[in-house]
């Protein structure tokens, strides 16, 4: 009798648990919280290959060029996965599994990765197979978009891959990660500059292959993204990108490239027949670009301008409102006309309020992907128009040779969009116009 009385609480507890299980719906029971996901990306790199590690199937790329002497222009092609935190609590749907997404294993940690080179001895065949695989994955998505991301200065293959994987996480599209031979050291800035220039021909070849892919299947769309020093690859590829209907977007994030050089490319390759959206992301917390400005003799970097793209070009065309001379008037009028007709597809987004870290030189992956697909900010963020030419105080102090022109004149040509969190107080001046879906 005593044992029966003592077991009564246990019986009640078991009955309660049984009833609770019956009350759980099939949908609730099937939903499993996934903390980390293995995000797959395609990669193309002209880095050197390090010696194989014992008992390892994965490959590891180093900080140097693949070719030290004669270049065969045959970069490594392959696939990789990188572990990212599932901060959006995304379920692994059948669509994402088809793209290769998988739940991370218990041993996996944030940024863990594995890279595998495509097998084969004939580079032409390997290259054809590589882009066909990209094509097949793009066909699995609703809009057939392909993302391409190039990292910046002081990035190893692994660190750049982690950023690319986060981009792919928010984009949910096939992504080609382009990794050039950055030495990944503060002291190697000039070496990185040299290497990214050396890598240009390989990047251009990739663009040409994407062009051929899109000509064969006009339903495909390409979105090019690059960060910091890697933005030079996109800008210098402009001759190949002009008026390409398959180019949906060209985005420069914290671009570490000479401000005047970008103007040269804009005047030569910007066309009214183009259809791509052109975006630049800048941050006034960006100290890395201020350091780069010092290294380059005080010349302003494009990512420091924080100016509307159309306003920037018109303002630098004739600094301080000077009247055009006979020599440059025709060229100035021509570019001004082109800018007037193309400014509707240009955006400058100041993400200072979302930037963090000592250098403030980050990639706002979630915001970038949201703007790509919705032309609006991600959840919890709003866009507010602000006057053009709001450069950081540090940049203004360092700048001795570059001027942005009259702010009032620039603001007429276009506005910047400042990204702020919803809980950030808005000043009366900026609260006059709140942009949810910018033109």
- Name the least confident of 16-25, 131-140, 347-356, 386-395: 16-25
- Name the least confident of 52-56, 67-71, 80-84, 90-94: 52-56
User: What phi and psi values does residue 109 have, to the nearest 5 degrees?
Assistant: -125, 165
**The pLDDT of residue 12:** 57
Residue 26 pLDDT > 60: no
% of the chain residues with pLDDT over 90? 59
**The pLDDT of residue 54:** 54
Measure the CA–CA gap between 63 and 116, rounded to whole angstroms. Answer: 18
User: Three-state SS for 341?
Assistant: helix
Tokens for 437, please give them.
């879906």
- Name the least confident of 43-57, 131-145, 372-386: 43-57
Contact by Cβ (8 Å): 225, 148: yes
Tokens for 369, please give them.
């992907």
pLDDT in tens, 305-362: 655 555 555 554 444 444 444 445 676 677 677 778 888 888 999 999 998 878 889 9
**pLDDT confidence band for 82 (50 / 70 / 90):** very high
**The pLDDT of residue 436:** 37
Show me where the domains of the chain are located.
36-432
**The pLDDT of residue 410:** 28
**pLDDT confidence band for 250 (50 / 70 / 90):** very high
Residue 432 pLDDT > 80: no
Average the pLDDT over 368-391 and give the result. 85
**The pLDDT of residue 53:** 65
Q: What contacts 172, CB < 8 A, 6 or more positions away?
A: 95, 96, 99, 141
Measure the CA–CA gap between 289 and 292, rounded to whole angstroms. Answer: 5
Residue 367 pLDDT > 90: yes
**pLDDT confidence band for 8 (50 / 70 / 90):** low
pTM: 0.83
Residue 66 pLDDT > 80: yes
Q: Does 155 or 3 have the greater pLDDT score?
A: 155
Residue 255 pLDDT > 80: yes
**pLDDT confidence band for 254 (50 / 70 / 90):** very high
Measure the CA–CA gap between 416 and 437, rounded to whole angstroms. Answer: 13
**pLDDT confidence band for 372 (50 / 70 / 90):** very high
pLDDT in tens, 166-208: 999 999 999 999 999 999 998 999 999 999 999 999 999 999 9
Nearest to 245 by CA among 267, 276, 268: 276
Contact by Cβ (8 Å): 161, 227: no
Average the pLDDT over 26-35 and give the result. 64
Provide the angle, in degrees to the nearest 10, between the axes of the packed helices 259-269 and 309-317.
100
**The pLDDT of residue 430:** 47
**The pLDDT of residue 387:** 67
Measure the CA–CA gap between 173 and 138, rounded to whole angstroms. Answer: 7
Average per-residue pLDDT for the chain: 83
Q: Does 28 or 362 have the greater pLDDT score?
A: 362
Torsion-angle region of residue 144: left (phi > 0), alpha (psi -120 to 50) or beta? Answer: left
C-alpha dihedral sign at 268, 180, 217, 101: negative
% of the chain residues with pLDDT over 70? 75
pLDDT in tens, 202-246: 999 999 999 999 999 999 999 999 999 999 999 999 999 999 999
């Amino acid at each position: 009798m005593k044992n029966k009385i003592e077991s009564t609480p246990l019986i009640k507890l078991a009955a309660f648990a049984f009833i609770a299980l019956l009350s759980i719906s099939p949908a609730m029971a099937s939903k499993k919280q996934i903390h980390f996901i293995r995000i797959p990306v395609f990669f193309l790199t002209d880095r050197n290959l390090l010696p194989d590690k014992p008992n390892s199937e994965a490959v590891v790329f180093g900080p140097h060029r693949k070719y030290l002497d004669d270049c065969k222009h045959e970069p490594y092609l392959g696939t990789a996965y990188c572990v990212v935190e599932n901060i959006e609590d995304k379920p692994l749907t059948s669509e994402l599994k088809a793209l290769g997404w998988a739940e991370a294993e218990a041993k996996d940690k944030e940024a863990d990765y594995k890279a595998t080179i495509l097998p084969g001895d004939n580079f032409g065949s390997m290259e054809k197979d590589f882009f066909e695989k990209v094509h097949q994955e793009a066909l699995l998505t609703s809009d057939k978009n392909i993302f391409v991301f190039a990292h910046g200065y002081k990035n190893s293959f692994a660190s750049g891959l982690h950023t690319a994987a986060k981009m792919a996480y928010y984009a949910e599209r096939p992504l080609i990660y382009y990794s050039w031979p950055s030495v990944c050291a503060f002291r190697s800035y000039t070496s990185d500059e040299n290497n990214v220039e050396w890598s240009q021909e390989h990047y251009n070849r990739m663009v040409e292959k994407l062009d051929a892919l899109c000509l064969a299947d006009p339903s495909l769309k390409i979105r090019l993204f690059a960060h910091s020093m890697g933005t030079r690859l996109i800008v210098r590829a402009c001759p190949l990108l002009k008026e390409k209907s398959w180019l949906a977007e060209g985005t420069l994030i914290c671009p570490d490239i000479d401000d005047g050089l970008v103007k040269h490319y804009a005047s030569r390759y910007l066309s009214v027949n183009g259809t791509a959206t052109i975006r630049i992301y800048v941050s006034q917390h960006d100290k890395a670009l201020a350091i780069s400005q010092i290294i380059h003799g005080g010349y302003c970097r494009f990512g420091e301008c924080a100016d509307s793209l159309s306003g920037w070009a018109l303002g630098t065309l004739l600094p301080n409102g000077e009247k055009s001379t006979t020599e440059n008037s025709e060229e100035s009028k021509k570019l001004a006309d082109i800018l007037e007709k193309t400014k509707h597809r240009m955006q400058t987004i100041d993400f200072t309020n979302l930037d963090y870290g000592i250098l403030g030189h980050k990639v706002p992956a979630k915001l970038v992907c949201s703007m790509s697909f919705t032309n609006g900010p991600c959840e919890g963020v709003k866009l507010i128009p602000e006057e053009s030419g709001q450069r950081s105080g540090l940049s203004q102090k360092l700048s001795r040779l570059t001027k942005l022109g009259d702010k009032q004149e620039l603001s007429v040509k276009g506005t910047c969009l400042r990204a702020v969190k919803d809980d950030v107080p808005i000043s009366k001046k900026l609260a006059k116009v709140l942009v949810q879906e910018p033109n």
